[in-house]
Amino acid sequence: MLAGAGTVVVAAVIVGVVVSSGADHTTSAAQASAAPVPANTAPVKRGRLSAVVAHDGTLTYRARPDGSLYAVINQARGVYTDLPDAGAKVGCGGVLDRVNDRPVVLLCGTVPAYRALHVGDVGSDVRQLNRNLHVGGQVFTPKTKNALEVLQRNKGVAVTGALARGDAVFLPEAVRIAKVGGVLGEPARPGARILSVTSDRLHVQVELDPSQQGQVKRGDRAQITLPGNTTVSGRVVGFGRVAEAPAGQNGSAADATIPTYITLDDPGKARGLDRAPVGVQITTKGVDDALSVPVTALVGRSGGGFAVEVVRADGRRELVAVKLGLFAAGGRVEVEGDLREGDQVVVPSI
């Protein structure tokens, strides 16, 4: 089934409007015999086509799948004696802050610290502690205790062999500090949000029109063009929970967009480019078996619609009316008309 809505997209690439007298499929004998300069042509192809959604995006540090920041909740009691700066990065096993000069360590895991842990405890929180300590299982064993004592000694924490709630914060991965909510010298109150953090890995955020969310799916592949024309591949990993209207007095619900998040296959290529504008091409749905021509081969018909100019084997040129379908990656468009695979269509000379 070919889509007619795509005709607006090609308005900018139509090189001319062909005035025809009703015989759209043949030129006059005089035109054929004139045989001017040989035409620049491209073949009609048959095969799978993939659609592309092109958009501007912003390179930034990712957080939760919906774009919200991770929260660091203090559970220690005392006074904040050291806090990180915005932009600082803390790896798993690193120190996030200090309360009464006692380090609060970042450990990696998805279960928040909700209890003190001792020898004999069992559970998913123990499993993630063991993983950080390179100990297997979900039981707090003497082996766990010994490994924890080594960590405590290395970080300057009181060596107890147990993990108090205020000793560590569990987050899914290494982090980058986005905002600092605590104040140096103030009382550290359990339950207070002292830091807002992101992952320390870059990703791309794209603001899609809600109508495009149906086209773009989690897992779709993307190509990102970085400043300096470097490209890196990636894939769509999530969407914001709600559409967001643009900031400012002129923003309205009709202008709302869906935040869309793309992870990079090689974040190292984008190192040092936080908040940089990028170009994004997301490969979405496709057609398994379609005839296609270059978009630049399309010409407008005087009565409406589109056509392509076909150069036959004997040199004759014919205008063939076509219906347009999917606009695909690589500058091609799906067409339906009196065409066959291998036919040569006229395209502008380079």
d(CA 18, CA 298): 10
- Check whether 299 has a pLDDT greater than 60: yes
Q: Which of 32-37's residues contact partners 24+ apart within 8 Å by CB, and which partners?
A: 32/315, 32/316, 32/317, 35/315
20 pLDDT above the threshold of 60: no
Per-residue model confidence as pLDDT tens digits over 322-337: 999 888 877 889 999 9
Higher-scoring residue by pLDDT: 239, 97 = 97
Query: Is the pLDDT confidence value at 248 over 60?
Result: no
What's the pLDDT band for 11 if we cut at 50, 70, 90?
A: very low
pLDDT at residue 255 is higher than 90 = no
Residue 16 predicted with pLDDT over 70? no
Tell which wins on pLDDT, 187 or 158: 187
Give mean pLDDT, residues 305-318: 92
Over the stretch 112-133, which tens digit does the pLDDT of each residue have?
Answer: 999 999 999 999 999 999 999 9
Q: How far is CA 4 from CA 290, 326, 335, in A?
A: 15, 9, 11
